[in-house]
């Protein structure tokens, strides 16, 4: 696969800890906390894709997945030429990767992460 799905997110407004507890109890997930942004990264022990549960930086809650790409801006330009819209320009995450987000023509929110 040229650009694999590498991460998922469940971002919620309100009691994020209760949502993490819910997923921990349902699926047995354990979390590594990234405290500066109250973001819990799922410790999947090397199985499946990585993910996290936290609070959105702005706007309402959402669920999404992230696709790894070599060039965030070039990919956003292609997305816009095909009818999608930029939701968040390339952004450095403190102690993390560089990401961007877009909405596809149907309005689905999808993330991009720069290949490392």
Q: What's the predicted TM-score (pTM) here?
A: 0.85
Q: What are phi and psi of 34, to 5 degrees?
A: -110, 85
Spans of all domains in the chain: 5-114
- Relative to beta strand 98-103, strand 109-114 is antiparallel
pLDDT at 45: 81
User: Is the domain covering 5-114 a CATH 3.10.180.10 domain?
Assistant: yes
Q: Which residues contact 28 (CB under 8 A, 6 or more apart)?
A: none
pLDDT at 78 over 90: yes
Strand order through the sheet with 98-103: 31-34, 39-42, 50-54, 5-11, 62-69, 109-114, 98-103, 85-92
pLDDT digits (tens, 9 = 90+) for 42-52: 988 878 898 99
């Amino acid at each position: 696969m040229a650009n694999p799905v590498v991460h998922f997110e469940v971002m919620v407004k309100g009691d994020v800890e209760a949502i993490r507890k819910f997923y921990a109890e349902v699926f047995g997930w354990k979390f590594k906390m990234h405290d500066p942004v109250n973001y819990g990264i799922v410790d999947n022990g090397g199985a499946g894709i990585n993910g996290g549960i936290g609070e959105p930086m702005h706007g309402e809650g959402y669920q999404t997945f992230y696709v790894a790409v070599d060039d965030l801006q070039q990919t956003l330009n292609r997305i816009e030429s095909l009818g999608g819209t930029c939701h968040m320009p390339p952004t450095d995450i403190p102690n993390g990767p560089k990401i961007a987000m877009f909405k596809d023509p149907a309005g689905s929110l999808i993330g991009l992460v720069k290949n490392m």
